[in-house]
Structure 1
Amino acid sequence: MSEVLPIAVGLIGYGNAGRIYHAPFLTALPQFRLRKVSTRRAAPLPGDAVRVDSAEEVLADEAIELVIIAAPNHRHADLARAALRAGKHVVVDKPFTLNAAEADELITLAQEQQRLLTVYHNRRLTSDFRTVRQVMSSGLLGRVVEYEAHFDRYRPGILAGSWKEEDVPGSGILYDMGAHLIDQAVQLFGYPQAVAADLRVQRRHGAAIDSFDLSLRYPDLKVTLKGSMLAGDAFPQFTVLGEQGSFIKRGRDIQEDALRSGASPTETPGWGREPEAYWGSLTTAHAGLDLTAVVKSEPGDYGLFYRNLYAAVREGAELLVKPREARNVIRILELAQQSSREQRPVPFAE
């Protein structure tokens, strides 16, 4: 077995994204060494990471090879640009940028600098989505004709002090969870012919979009992506209908709660394995019989993103999340906003 040469990492931002979704893997996996964290938070840092006050202090450290950008969405493009110009490989937390033009600029810059650039679309690696993909690939549903995915919360009050609740570029749940649902759908079905959307601010005194209903238009397939902050009784995460059967999956991936509780992704037995109560329900026709079955969930593992990233940096492996894919998610987000403003479907074009 070859010796592991850890990648020195700088993390910019230590809010929920940096603290919950990135730092635990950067400290638990031997392939990485979290060297510096740019934050003004008073929370303790993991391992031997050093706190610094500015992103510039991270970028100036010549020992750092990889920079993770987990700052507010409107800062993604500027910080990624600076990191690439400093000669670093870059991971941007989703959403990649605020618009496709910014994403195009970063992709070109990464190529010029000969550095890797990718986006943390970790919800390709959740238990629920991996299970849906496995069921669809099994052929038990036959030709899929309809797919509906939800990411719902119940928070009727406005979270004070959160930029995500303000009327600023990149705020609201469209750029938050909508980006993930779009990425998942495109992984399954490719790019749509058109995008239609209904975007709303439903909560009293709300300023940012807190409800979205997206339709991705395909010739023989209906794809609906929905999210709400007023879903007291959550809908199924996924509903998939096919000519030969259907699959319904409830229960949100358990990794997020485990990470919030401080569990280690490498030392927790059964990491990412859902309890039986979360397993999905399959109804299908086979050999003239109508069958109903419970489908054991595939394990989720966000760590696969970072293991792939290490292989890409050290061994030249293909990136799990290619920057062009993440850019096209942003393009669909742009078209969704245009569709909602104009109240019409908008053709998809890169």
Structure 2
Amino acid sequence: MSKQPVRLGMLGAQHGHAAGKLRWLRDLDEIDLAGVYEPCADARAAKESEPNSAGLPYVDDIDRLLEDPSVLGILIGGAERQNPSYARRALQAGKHLLMEKACGWTHAHADELTGLAESSGLLFQMGYNNRLTPHFRRVLDMVDEGEFGDIYRVRSHMCSFYHPSADTYLGRDRYFNGGIFYNLGSHALDMAMAVLGTPAKVHSFLRCDRFIESGYIDNATVVLEHPNAIATLEASHLETEQVRPRSFEVYGSEAQAIVSPWASIGDRAPAVAIHRGGPGAGADGWKVYGTGREAPFRDDVEHFVACIRGECQPRFSYAHDRAVHHTLMDICGETDVAEEVA
């Protein structure tokens, strides 16, 4: 017997990940898309020009989604200064939430939003879209099963190619600190903390090496210090190509894993190389696992639907998402920029 589709809506469509999410809201049989609220006509027109987000049912009144009891969950995908306000309204309306990263630009944003969801018994899922892809799930499953033994090091290299539009985040439009680490390094932080938990100390090296006049942080290395492990997270806006160099590595006493690349590039598909058997296994201990499919943003949308249906529990807890955001704020620093109110 086929299952009834889950009715969802989306607030905002200006986030960089929005088109990827909208594709699956529109195309997956298990979803009934009630509508997308995006008040900016230019943003709607831009989405209509993209194959992944064309043909969407837009609504002019946000309350058509928030006051509809048949809408069980809301995805938040607006411009990031709008998203805390969108998320707050959706949670206050009793909707499960899948929120695009980041959770905001203050410590208080994470406490308020995760606390509101938790106290109301609502799902709160952050849109760090790598956390549920097959290659990262394999690594996290190994962590859960203790297959790495004692983990003593995590390393991530997740950078972006140089382009002058990084200055978009400066001046009057700048609402966050930390530059490229806030914008991109947060993905790596999420995964590192999924492996090692909350660090005891954070050491941040946030540099401006090319955008000298603007002051945009374009070259960053963050060291997370744990009682028996170290994580080093590299993020820059200076590389000539951004996909092939990305890697995420976990080193333990019994096994190690290297995710690289994170997405397809040229003749290389995303994969994870895993070494088992300890030092005695030598080179024969390596095995490479492919992903089987590559469908960006599909995994977290499908997981959200499955959690709403009660078919599984969220892979990441309220406490994890709170801790990641607090650590991100410890690294980058807060700002006092006002939200754009929905």
TM-score by length of 1: 0.76
Partner amino acid, structure 1, of 2:24: F
Shift of 1:21: 2.7
Name the structure 1 match of 2:307: 312
Give the C-alpha shift of residue 331 in structure 1: 0.5
Contact preservation (8 Å) 1:165, 1:171: no
CA contact (8 A) 2:35 2:56 kept: yes
CA 5–146 in structure 1, closer or farther in 2 if over 3 Å, else same: same
Q: 1:295 aligns with which of 280, 284, 288?
A: 288
Aligned to 2:32: 33
**1:1-350 matches, cutoff 5 A:** 1=1, 3-17=2-16, 19-39=18-38, 40=41, 41=43, 42=45, 43-44=47-48, 49-53=56-60, 55-56=62-63, 58-133=65-140, 143-159=150-166, 166-169=173-176, 172-204=179-211, 205-232=213-240, 235-243=245-253, 247-254=257-264, 279-280=271-272, 288=280, 290-292=282-284, 293-299=286-292, 302-315=297-310, 317-337=312-332
Q: Give 1:213 deviation, angstroms.
A: 1.2
Q: Which runs of 5+ in 2 are unaligned?
A: 335-342
Q: TM-score, normalised by structure 2?
A: 0.77
Partner of 1:269: none
Q: Distance in 2 between matches of 1:31 and 1:278?
A: 26
Q: Is the 8 A contact 2:135 2:289 kept in 1?
A: no
Identical columns (%): 23
Name which of structure 1's ranges 277-286 and 77-86 shifts more when overlaid on structure 2: 277-286
Code of the residue aligned with 1:237 in structure 2: it is S
Q: What are the Cα deviations for residues 224-250 of structure 1, in whole angstroms up to 9, with x where unaligned?
A: 011111123664512344456754443
SS of the residue corresponding to residue 291 of structure 1 reads helix
Check whether the contact 2:15–2:79 (CA below 8 A) recurs between aligned residues. Answer: no
| Map of 1:347 onto structure 2 | none
Q: Is the 8 A contact 2:107 2:325 kept in 1?
A: yes
Using the alignment, how far apart are the partners of 1:20 and 1:307 within structure 2?
16
What amino acid is the match of 1:291? A
**DSSP 3-state at the match of 2:153:** strand
Are the structure 2 counterparts of residues 140 and 34 from structure 1 closer, same or farther at C-alpha, using a change threshold of 3 Å? closer
After alignment, is 281-290 or 217-226 more displaced?
A: 281-290
Cα contact 2:224–2:230 (8 A) shared by 1: yes
Give the partner amino acid of 1:331.
H
Distance in structure 2 (CA, Å) of the matches to 1:290 and 1:316: 41
**SS in structure 2 at match of 1:74:** coil
* Superposition deviation, residue 181 in structure 1: 1.0
Q: Structure 1 residues 146 and 58, CA, compared in 2 at 3 Å: closer, same or farther?
A: same
Aligned-residue RMSD, C-alpha: 3.6
Shift, 1:164, TM fit:
11
Report the Cα distance in structure 2 between the residues aligned to 1:249 and 1:96, rounded to whole angstroms.
Answer: 26
1:6/1:289 CA distance change after superposition, 3 Å? closer
Report the residue type matching 2:289 in the other structure: K
- Count of aligned residue pairs for this structure pair: 320
- C-alpha distance 114-283 of structure 1, shift in aligned 2 (>3 A): closer
